[in-house]
Amino acid sequence: MKFPRLDISLKKISHNVRSLKKLYGSKKLEIIGVTKLICGDPVLASVLIDNGIKILADSRIANIKRMKESGIKAKFMLLRSPA
């Protein structure tokens, strides 16, 4: 039995982040990287930060803690009020 598999291209994510930063930066808008779907994965969070994202947002404190403990240097935003 085959299970679903998700292939993530860090190169494509990098390209997309740079494109969005250029597009919205020209309009004086800052974008926030939402890490909810990736469960605060430090590798993917690093790609966002390395390509110009300054703020990472997640709906789970545990995911934010995971990124901080992995050395991710960013501002963090909680997407919901804590329980």
pLDDT in tens, 18-27: 999 999 999 9
Tokens of 56: 């990472």
5 domain-assigned: no
Q: In degrees rounded to 5, what are phi and psi of residue 33?
A: -85, 120
Segment 20-52, tens digit of pLDDT:
999 999 999 999 999 998 999 999 999 999 999
Indicate the number of domains in the chain: 1
3 domain-assigned: no
> In angstroms, rounded to a whole number, what is the distance separating the alpha carbons of residues 33 and 52?
10
Structural domain that includes position 42: 10-78
Residues 6+ apart with CB under 8 A from 82: 61
Tell me which residue has tokens 């009020």.
81
pTM of the full predicted structure? 0.87
74 domain-assigned: yes
49, 72 contact by CB (below 8 A): yes
18, 51 contact by CB (below 8 A): yes
> Given this model, what pLDDT does residue 2 score?
86
Return mean pLDDT, the chain: 93
15 domain-assigned: yes
1 domain-assigned: no
20 domain-assigned: yes
